């Protein structure tokens, strides 16, 4: 066992000198190339991981956007679409430098992120922090963030359908977060947004009508330029970056997209209807997995999106089938295919290791100790020893595994909310 792997296990609470026969579920990717290829072929028509998002315009008439005035603390700036250069300069002076997360540390580094921010009124922890909060109020004193939370834009439902999360459409909760400011020279290097809770699914950005040039937003493989009162939503695990602002001031409202309560049905109960719309054959899935199950009793399939330990724990502690309900994009398709093939599965956060030896590259993963203990508390003891890990995304999948660490949004992620490589532990129902 390598010293690097020992260090990772020690950090996660495992004894570094355990016997390999008693390994706490070590998943090996080597030797499973044939099964991985077969499974990839069975899922060949699935959509790839979500790398794009649709820009939409807020309904100006229903929201009466021209009536909204910017307020910071007790200071009234006036209509947001008519802010003067002096107003923008005063707004910038009131804002605080924007931090970012790197692992479990929150940092300030203008070579990574050059921006300022103000908490939105109603944001979690804003009152306790004592900072002046920003708010857009209409002539009736109503907050735009509150209005969006009360009546989320209908485009969010279309976005959820794209992410294969249509059963969450009526359970969206928008939470105010920050007003983020970038002026000439400002940027934010590629990062993923910080996860704040097991129900935190994504981010909604709404651009304010402040004149500026530059500042294009790259979302995965897509570049978008948000115009005045345009919005875009994306999953927290989607890597994105902001190109340098060339002139003016770019001001954006950031809201968190959460979902509440688990759907009452299980994915497996509805898999027959879901799988009719999928590109994939449940029989071919079974043909790829059955030889591994016959040998080991279970197998793991690496997922294409990232999930937090908190999400996996929430699925474990809730009703049967909740693991499937939490999957998104191509992972949701895979879960439906597994359900249609008669398998049950558990969402596992995984610690992934890649090693290079004279025999070539080796890839393996183990389950974080805390999650393993939570499984045991719920009477769901995970197996020990070695088991097959299937990677069905090819080179793209390997790149995703390598990208599970990096820069984050406004703060660091604590362990249970960290984006993690994840997999499904599959066994016969």
- Exposure class string for 181-190: b at 16+ Cβ within 10 A, else e: bbbeebbbee
Predicted local distance difference test score (pLDDT) of residue 28: 78
- In this predicted model, which residue has the larger pLDDT, 47 or 118? 118
- In this predicted model, which residue has the larger pLDDT, 77 or 385? 77
Q: How far apart are CA 233 and CA 53, in angstroms?
A: 7
Structure tokens at 428: 């016969």
Query: Which residues, including other chains, have CB under 8 Å from residue 278's CB and lie 6 or more apart?
Result: 45, 46, 333, 336, 337
Structure tokens at 374: 């939570």
Backbone dihedral angles phi then psi of residue 409, each to the nearest 5 degrees? -70, -125
- Overall average pLDDT of the 258-284 stretch: 54
- In this predicted model, which residue has the larger pLDDT, 394 or 260? 260
Half-sphere exposure in the Cβ direction for 204 (13 Å, CA) = 29
Per-residue confidence at 233, pLDDT binned at 50, 70, 90?
very high
Superfamily of 55-259 according to CATH:
Jelly Rolls (2.60.120.10)
Query: Which residues, including other chains, have CB under 8 Å from residue 270's CB and lie 6 or more apart?
Result: none
Of 329, 283, 316, 385, the C-alpha closest to 23 is 385
Q: How far apart are CA 43 and CA 37, in angstroms?
A: 10
Predicted local distance difference test score (pLDDT) of residue 198: 85
The DSSP annotation for 380-391 comes to -PPP-SEEEEE-
| Model confidence at 356: pLDDT above 60 | no
Residues of the chain with pLDDT > 70: what percent? 79
Q: How far apart are CA 317 and CA 339, in angstroms?
A: 20
* Domain residue ranges of the chain, discontinuous segments joined by +: 3-46+278-428, 55-259
- In this predicted model, which residue has the larger pLDDT, 166 or 106? 106
- In this predicted model, which residue has the larger pLDDT, 417 or 322? 417
Q: How far apart are CA 253 and CA 243, in angstroms?
A: 17
State the pTM of this model: 0.86
Strands, sheet with 360-366, edge to edge from the N-terminal-most edge strand: 343-349, 422-428, 299-302, 386-390, 26-28, 360-366, 351-357
Predicted local distance difference test score (pLDDT) of residue 324: 79
Q: How far apart are CA 195 and CA 246, in angstroms?
A: 30
Predicted local distance difference test score (pLDDT) of residue 272: 33
Predicted local distance difference test score (pLDDT) of residue 385: 77
Do 410 and 178 touch, CB atoms closer than 8 A? Answer: yes
Task: Report the C-alpha dihedral over residues 368, 372, 374, 379, rounded to 10 degrees.
Answer: 170
| Model confidence at 239: pLDDT above 60 | yes
For 279-302, what is each residue's pLDDT tens digit? Answer: 578 888 889 899 889 888 888 898
Q: How far apart are CA 186 and CA 7, in angstroms?
A: 37
Per-residue confidence at 131, pLDDT binned at 50, 70, 90?
confident
């Amino acid at each position: 066992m390598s010293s690097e792997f020992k260090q990772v296990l020690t950090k996660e609470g495992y004894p570094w000198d355990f016997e390999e026969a008693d390994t706490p579920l070590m998943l090996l990717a080597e030797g499973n190339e044939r099964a991985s290829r077969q499974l990839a072929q069975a899922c060949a028509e699935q959509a790839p991981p979500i790398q794009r998002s649709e820009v939409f315009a807020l309904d100006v008439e229903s929201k009466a956007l021209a009536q909204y005035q910017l307020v910071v603390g007790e200071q009234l700036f006036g209509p947001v679409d008519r802010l003067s250069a002096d107003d923008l300069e005063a707004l910038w002076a009131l804002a605080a430098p924007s931090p970012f997360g790197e692992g479990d540390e929150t940092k300030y580094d203008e070579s990574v992120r050059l921006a300022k921010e103000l908490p939105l009124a109603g944001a979690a922890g804003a009152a306790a922090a004592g900072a002046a909060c920003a708010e857009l109020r209409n002539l009736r004193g109503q907050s735009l963030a509150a209005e969006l939370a009360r009546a989320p834009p209908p485009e969010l439902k279309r976005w959820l359908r794209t992410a294969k999360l249509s059963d969450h459409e009526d359970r969206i909760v928008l939470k105010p977060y920050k007003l983020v400011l970038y002026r000439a020279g400002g940027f934010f290097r590629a990062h993923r947004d910080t996860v704040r809770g097991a129900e935190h699914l994504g981010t909604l950005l709404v651009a304010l009508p402040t004149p500026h040039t530059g500042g294009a937003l790259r979302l995965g493989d897509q570049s978008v330029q948000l115009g005045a009162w345009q919005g875009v939503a994306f999953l927290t695990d989607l890597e994105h970056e902001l190109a340098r602002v060339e002139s003016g001031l770019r001001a954006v409202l950031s809201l968190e997209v959460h979902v509440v309560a688990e759907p009452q049905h299980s994915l497996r109960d509805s898999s027959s209807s879901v799988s009719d719309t999928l590109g994939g054959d449940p029989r071919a899935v079974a043909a790829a997995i059955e030889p591994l199950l016959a040998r080991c009793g279970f197998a793991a399939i690496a997922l294409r999106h990232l999930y937090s330990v908190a999400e996996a724990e929430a699925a474990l502690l809730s009703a049967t089938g909740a693991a499937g309900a939490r999957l998104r994009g191509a992972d949701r398709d895979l879960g439906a295919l597994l359900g249609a093939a008669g398998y049950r599965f558990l969402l596992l956060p995984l610690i992934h290791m890649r090693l290079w030896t004279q025999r070539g590259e080796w890839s393996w993963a183990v389950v974080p100790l805390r999650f393993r203990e939570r499984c045991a508390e719920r009477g769901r003891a995970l197996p020990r020893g070695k088991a097959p890990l299937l990677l069905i995304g090819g080179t793209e999948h390997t790149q995703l595994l390598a990208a599970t660490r990096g820069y984050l949004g406004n703060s660091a992620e604590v362990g249970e909310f960290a984006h993690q490589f994840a997999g499904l532990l599959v066994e016969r129902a």
